[in-house]
Amino acid sequence: MRIAIDAMGGDNAPESVVEGAVQAAKQWGDTEIILVGDSAKLEPLLGAAGRPSNVRIYHAADSISADDEPVRAVRRKKEASMVIAGQLLKDGEAEAMISAGNTGALMAVGLLVVGRIAGIERPALAPMLPTVDGKGVLALDLGANMDASPEHLLQYALMGSVYRNRVHDIPEPRVGLLNVGTEAIKGNELTKQAYPLLEKAPIRFVGNVEARDVMNSVCDVLVCDGFAGNILLKAMEGTASVIFNNLKAAFTRSWATKLAAAVMKPALSEFKKKLDYTEHGAAPLLGVNGLVLKSHGSSDANAFKNAVRQARIAVANNLVRSISSEIGGK
């Protein structure tokens, strides 16, 4: 199994990328890690990390920054690390690609370089959102497409169900529709029209799900348009940040609160781990004709290692082929 990683993408690239790749290579000796990027920068880092035999560098003379206009950058920067990683996937020289770089550019690579699965109208970005039981909920779309039609939401539901079944081994994933109320008649025109389509689909549809219930594991797959989904994601990230910052301030106020913090540290650490995106690895771009994973921009070595683990499971379970069979009719 070969996994290409955009070594120049992300806030902590290339150091954290190389460190995570080395950790993954040492744990999974049957997987070849292809680090795509500037060899002059990668070689010293790889040497210092104790280069495993199953890690190699594929030189890329250019890279795409966070400030680049996505589509223009992908079309003009043919030697960029992200574009080359996508081409390796397209050409069958890698079974998956991972990047923590420019999200819009990765979307463009998925569409323009890798290509869509036949029958898929719009690919969807599907990260795992944290839940109180630690199992998480796959939410899509969370930003790949701001607008969606009822038919798009149906395709998201089908792809999400296949993903959770194949990657997380859930026999019949529960699919929920993000809405402002649980009643079938609630919502805007999009959700009202999508509801009956989801009811008739070959999935385990559990109805509308309110944002306040998402973290209570009421569903395994949450379907929404990218606009609503991205607002949900940012609201959850902001809330978690506020909670932990205020807890830290409260527990460091005096010697008594510091003592209480010491007593509660194991439980608080476990709770924080449940909300830690690095434990979930990366968000798949579902609907493209190859396994494309988007890591968080601030991913550390642990996040990249978990992204490799996630890619291995998806490839081993023929995720892309399964989605193609379910929707593309192949």
Could you check whether 1-120+287-330 and 121-278 share the same CATH topology?
Answer: yes
| 312 pLDDT above the threshold of 90 | yes
Cα–Cα dist 287/266, whole Å: 40
Nearest one of 98, 4, 166 to 307, comparing CA atoms? 98
Q: pLDDT at position 328, please? A: 59
Mean residue pLDDT of the chain comes to 91
The per-residue pLDDT for range 290-311, each reduced to its tens digit, is 999 999 888 899 989 999 999 9
Instruction: Name which of 324, 265, 263, 313 is nearest 289 in CA terms.
Output: 324
Q: Confidence band (pLDDT; 50, 70, 90) for 279?
A: low
Total-model pTM: 0.87
Query: With bands split at pLDDT 50, 70 and 90, how would you rate the model's confidence at 330?
Result: very low
Superfamily of segment(s) 121-278 = Isopropylmalate Dehydrogenase (3.40.718.10)
pLDDT band at 251 (very low <50, low <70, confident <90, very high): confident
Asked if residues 33 and 55 have their Cβ atoms less than 8 Å apart, the reply is yes
Give the start-to-end residue ranges of the domains of the chain.
1-120+287-330, 121-278
Mean pLDDT of 53-75: 95
* E strand residue ranges, 75-156: 96-99, 124-125, 128-129, 137-140
> What is 1-120+287-330's CATH topology?
Isopropylmalate Dehydrogenase (3.40.718)
> For position 145, what pLDDT does the model report?
81
